Amino acid sequence: MRVVMLSLKMKCSPQRAAKFSHKYIQKRVKQVPSKQKITAITGLLSGAAVWGMVWYPFRILEQAGISGMLASFLTYFIALIFGLMVSGPVWRELPKAGKWGVLLIFSAGWTNFGYVQAIIEGEVMRVLLLFYLAPLWTIIFAHFLLGERLNRYGYAVVFLSMCGALIMLWQPSLGLPVPQNRAEWIGLSAGMTFALTNVIVRHSQQLSVNFKSATIWLGTVVLTGLMLLYQGNFTAQLVHIKFDSWWLLILIGLVLCATSFAVQFGLTHLPANQAIVLLLFELLFAAVAAYFLAGEKMGGQELIGAVLIISASLLSGRIQDEPAALTKET
């Protein structure tokens, strides 16, 4: 019936109308994003939301006498336990992981611990700014490790992202975004390993999302555990943790566990340069959280930066990753 009505509107035969309708439907289907892509984008945005607000509970724990190192160890240990209960025997994938799996453990471990430690020690604005220079490192890592190339839209996305971050976070009184203390150097290095982690996850297509998530939890536990042992008094620090703080640690661990699954799915099914832009939404979530939780108001400068970041994220859908051409003239 719909084909007949279409033929009347087009003033042509039903056969021609049916052919046109079929082509129209095919075109429309191609324009609709796949469920997998929508799920991947949602996973990355949920991760950005969690990391944009997780600084607050970590600061509460720090005020309760739990250092960022100990809080990172305990929360990711809890995430590892619950994650393995859901994931099953992910260790069976170890033979397929190889050197990339080992590199993923240490890069993700330093990213998570470095972020928490820097955001507790240093000034939030400068630490976030240095951390979110990650798109620059992503381009370098993705080019050499994945063979990805950006078209003009990709470079526009990176440009808008960086401009948005600079406008939103830069303050004349703080000077240029150059590391000036330990916390800022940690934040910068964590941003570099954050970009490397994204690219490794994208490269390791032979590994499951569950395995990648487990390596990230394990990497944070291993790195912070070794540092706690080197620091000493590990048992004494555990004994002094209050009951209320344990509940908060468990809650953070569960949230980090769920977030890891969501983010790793997104990183696995989206190009690295697009993923890093979507994760930049963390800056917007952090600004909103700071307004409601810490009483920090967003001015015109922050709003302009947020608009640029959102624009970059919307434009990221036009990024087309093309394999690097490895041809040789003969």
Three-state DSSP class for residue 299: coil
pLDDT mean over 83-103:
81
Three-state DSSP class for residue 171: coil
* pLDDT band with cut points at 50, 70 and 90 for residue 175: low
Phi, psi of 322 (to 5 degrees): -115, 135
Tens of pLDDT, residues 283-328: 778 877 877 877 766 677 767 877 787 677 667 656 544 443 333 3
Q: What's the confidence (pLDDT) of residue 283?
A: 76
Residue 234 CB contacts under 8 Å (≥ 6 apart), including other chains = 228
pLDDT mean over 182-201:
87
Q: If you search the block for the tokens 């042992």, which residue do you land on?
A: 229
Checking if the pLDDT of 117 tops 60, the result is yes
Q: Residue 137 CA to chain centroid, in angstroms?
A: 14
Crossing angle between the packed helical segments 243-269 and 68-87, to the nearest 10 degrees: 60
Checking if the pLDDT of 138 tops 60, the result is yes
Tell me which residue of 277, 98, 268, 133 sits closest to 199, measured CA to CA: 268
H-only helix segments in the chain: 2-10, 14-31, 35-53, 55-63, 68-87, 94-121, 124-131, 134-141, 152-169, 182-203, 209-231, 234-239, 243-269, 272-279, 281-294, 300-315
- Give the C-alpha separation, 288 to 248, whole Å: 22
Burial class (CB in 10 A: 0-12, 13-18, 19+), 299: exposed
Listed ranges 4-8, 97-101, 256-260; the one with the highest mean pLDDT: 256-260
Tens of pLDDT, residues 246-281: 999 999 999 999 988 888 788 778 876 677 678 778
Tens of pLDDT, residues 30-51: 444 677 888 888 889 999 999 8
Q: What's the confidence (pLDDT) of residue 65?
A: 92
Torsion of CA 293, 294, 299, 302, to 10 degrees: -80
Instruction: Look up residue 160 and give its two tokens.
Output: 């808008």
In order, the DSSP letters of 104-145 are HHHHHHHHHHHHHHHHHHS-HHHHHHHHTTHHHHHHHHIIII
* pLDDT band with cut points at 50, 70 and 90 for residue 82: very high
User: What are the boundaries of each domain within the chain?
Assistant: 38-146+179-268
Tell me which residue of 175, 179, 136 sits closest to 157, measured CA to CA: 136
